[in-house]
């Protein structure tokens, strides 16, 4: 059977750690840890066939779009209890208007909003909470911009654990807060930014014996990396030219890169796509760091964007993400909130909706095609990370009856009278959308 160990990613350290004493940082230098494998030999064709066959099975482990690819994450004992909500299995959909608007390119959407709690976090959470369950963990905790906390609360509840959430005060969407509460988490609103909440959590966690499930937990990324296995399967193992993800704490980008590397090493894919990270212009520490080719992170002290999911100034996983850009010849872009809104609106015309952070990908693609960094007609997959209903306040703000773009076109308040209705509707239909 394939084996694994934990290893510090710092080049000067690279200390191996016994996974039985797993932690979220290297005991020697405090660096990030990653899961490394000594994989058994697999015949790639047989492996692809095995994954496909499992789609016909009714077993919990096979119905999960994460555990179906379990050869890629041999981190649990055979027969261990799997904490799953049938995560993954998300659609890959083509776009017409958005492909033209952003390109012309061949743009498909991998929609992670179709996960049980409405975001890509569920892929990582099933891996992490399953692992925590096997180790007898009783209380899990995270700091969050909202999606990690919703997901953690759901999976922890299912596993019978308590969950503790730190969120910045009034900085996350009401829907996400509601989800965490609904799943029974203890929610602490603390600090003005995610970064502050995260720093405080990391300070109190050791003395309180809290098991952290933020993306510094290496097992989270193991679950999240399976997105690329599923994407490749849906594309008959023909990799796209580019995979584009939004960047916040940079766990997703790190996971996507790790997944691609391992699929390539196992011979399941022949080519590795370029990985592109898109950040919001007001919360773009990684963009700045990459642009300056800086050996240290250039943080953003007061991150600010309407895409609250990615309002992060000190991304914990930036070093892993930088390795992914190096490995895939990738790059990082940033986009304004106006560009994000425009992209979100165009996606909606294709019937594809998402939360604002996710639409940053498509805004970034358009900018990169215009700048000639992504060639026209390229084959591009944008990962949409969160569901439309994750942030309805954003939609209502942008579609308010007082907004000139919306007033009279989309939202009418009409007297309960047939003539008044007729007049209002005739007028509205006379204006092109
Ligand atoms: N998109 C959405 C919808 C997110 O919720 C996040 C992160 C990202 C993109 C960025 O992913 O951090 O892996 O680079 N949300 C975290 C949270 C920080 O707490 O829910 P990343």
d(CA 175, CA 177) in angstroms, rounded, equals 5
**Residue 247 pLDDT level (bands cut at 50, 70, 90):** very high
239 with 264: CB under 8 angstroms?
no
Q: Assess whether pLDDT exceeds 80 at residue 407.
A: no
The structure tokens 């988490």 sit at 185
Span from the CA of 391 to the centroid of ligand 1 (angstroms)? 13
Q: Assess whether pLDDT exceeds 70 at residue 408.
A: no
Ligand 1 closest atom vs CA 354: 3
Write down the H helix ranges in 214-352. 218-224, 226-234, 251-265, 285-291, 318-328, 337-349
Span from the CA of 418 to the centroid of ligand 1 (angstroms)? 47
d(CA 2, CA 15) in angstroms, rounded, equals 20
Span from the CA of 300 to the centroid of ligand 1 (angstroms)? 17
What pLDDT does residue 430 have? Answer: 87
Ligand 1 closest atom vs CA 142: 19
DSSP assignment string, 93-135: EE-SHHHHHH-S-EEEEEEGGGSTTSBTHHHHHHHHHHHHHHT
Ligand 1 closest atom vs CA 246: 9
Greatest CA span in the chain, whole angstroms? Answer: 77
Span from the CA of 252 to the centroid of ligand 1 (angstroms)? 8
DSSP assignment string, 156-213: HHHHT-EEEEEE-TT-S-HHHHHHHHHTT-EEEE-SSSHHHHHHHHHHHHHHHT-EE-
pLDDT digits (tens, 9 = 90+) for 95-113: 999 999 999 999 999 999 9
Span from the CA of 148 to the centroid of ligand 1 (angstroms)? 7
Nearest CA owner, ligand 1 atom 15: 309
d(CA 39, CA 52) in angstroms, rounded, equals 20
Percent of the chain at pLDDT above 70?
99
What Rg do the C-alpha atoms of the chain give, in angstroms?
22
Nearest CA owner, ligand 1 atom 6: 309
Q: Give helix 318-328 / helix 251-265 axis angle, nearest 10°.
A: 40
**Residue 433 pLDDT level (bands cut at 50, 70, 90):** low
- DSSP 8-state assignment for residue 249: S
Quick one: average pLDDT of 318-332?
Answer: 98
Q: Assess whether pLDDT exceeds 80 at residue 348.
A: yes
Span from the CA of 388 to the centroid of ligand 1 (angstroms)? 14
d(CA 107, CA 242) in angstroms, rounded, equals 10
Span from the CA of 158 to the centroid of ligand 1 (angstroms)? 22
Candidate from 140, 144, 147, 391 with most ligand 1 atoms within 8 A of CB, to mutate: 147
What pLDDT does residue 30 have? Answer: 92
Helix (H) or strand (E) holding 423, with range, is helix 418-430
Span from the CA of 218 to the centroid of ligand 1 (angstroms)? 16
Centre a 10 Å sphere on the Cβ of residue 96 and count the other Cβ atoms it contains.
11
- Of 27-41, 159-173, 394-408, the one with minimum mean pLDDT is 394-408
Ligand 1 closest atom vs CA 147: 20
Q: Assess whether pLDDT exceeds 90 at residue 410.
A: no
Residues ≥6 apart with Cβ < 8 Å to 408: 427, 428, 431
Ligand 1 closest atom vs CA 148: 20
Ligand 1 closest atom vs CA 251: 13
Q: Which residues pair with 333 in a beta bridge?
A: 278
CA torsion, ordered 212, 254, 135, 158, to nearest 10 deg = 70
Q: Assess whether pLDDT exceeds 90 at residue 390.
A: yes
pLDDT digits (tens, 9 = 90+) for 350-373: 999 999 999 999 999 999 999 999
CB within 6 Å of ligand 1 — which residues? Answer: 119, 121, 144-148, 215, 246-253, 309-310, 355, 357-358, 385-386
């Amino acid at each position: 059977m394939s084996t694994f160990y934990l290893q510090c990613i710092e080049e000067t350290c690279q200390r191996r750690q016994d996974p039985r004493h797993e932690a979220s940082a290297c005991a020697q230098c405090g660096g990030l840890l990653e899961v490394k494998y000594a994989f058994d030999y697999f015949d790639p064709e047989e492996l692809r066939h095995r994954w496909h066959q499992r789609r016909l099975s009714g077993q919990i482990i096979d119905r999960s779009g994460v555990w179906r690819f379990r050869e890629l994450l041999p981190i649990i004992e055979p027969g261990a209890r799997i904490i799953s909500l049938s995560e993954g299995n998300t659609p890959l959909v083509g776009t017409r208007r958005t492909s033209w608007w952003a390109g012309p390119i061949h743009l498909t959407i991998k929609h992670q909003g179709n996960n049980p709690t409405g975001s890509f976090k569920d892929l990582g959470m099933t891996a992490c909470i399953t692992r925590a369950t096997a180790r007898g963990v009783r209380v899990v905790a995270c700091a969050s911009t909202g999606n990690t906390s919703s997901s953690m609360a759901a999976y922890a509840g299912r596993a019978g654990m308590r969950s503790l959430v730190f969120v910045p005060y009034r900085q996350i969407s009401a829907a996400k807060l509601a989800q965490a509460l609904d799943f029974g988490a203890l929610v602490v609103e603390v600090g003005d930014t995610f970064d502050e909440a995260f720093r405080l959590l990391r300070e109190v966690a050791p003395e309180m014996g809290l098991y952290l499930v933020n993306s510094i937990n290496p097992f989270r990324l193991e679950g999240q990396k399976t997105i690329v296995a599923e994407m490749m399967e849906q594309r008959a193992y023909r990799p796209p030219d580019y995979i584009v993800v939004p960047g916040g704490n940079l766990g997703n980008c790190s996971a996507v890169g790790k997944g691609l590397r391992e699929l390539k090493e196992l011979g399941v894919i022949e080519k590795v796509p370029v990985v592109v990270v898109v950040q919001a212009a007001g919360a773009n520490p990684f963009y700045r760091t990459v642009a300056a080719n800086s050996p240290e992170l250039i943080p953003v002290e007061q991150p600010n964007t309407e895409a609250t999911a990615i309002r992060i100034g000190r991304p914990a996983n930036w070093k892993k993400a930088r390795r992914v850009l190096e490995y895939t010849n990738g790059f990082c872009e940033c986009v304004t909130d106006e560009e994000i809104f425009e992209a979100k609106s165009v996606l909606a015309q294709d019937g594809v909706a998402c939360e604002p952070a996710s639409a940053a990908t498509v805004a970034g693609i358009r900018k990169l095609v215009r700048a000639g960094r992504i060639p026209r007609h390229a084959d591009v997959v944008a990962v949409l990370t969160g569901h439309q209903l994750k942030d309805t306040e954003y939609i209502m703000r942008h579609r308010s009856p007082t907004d000139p773009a919306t007033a009279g076109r989309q939202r009418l308040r009409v007297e309960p009278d047939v003539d008044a209705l007729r007049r209002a509707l005739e007028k509205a239909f006379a204006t092109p959308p």
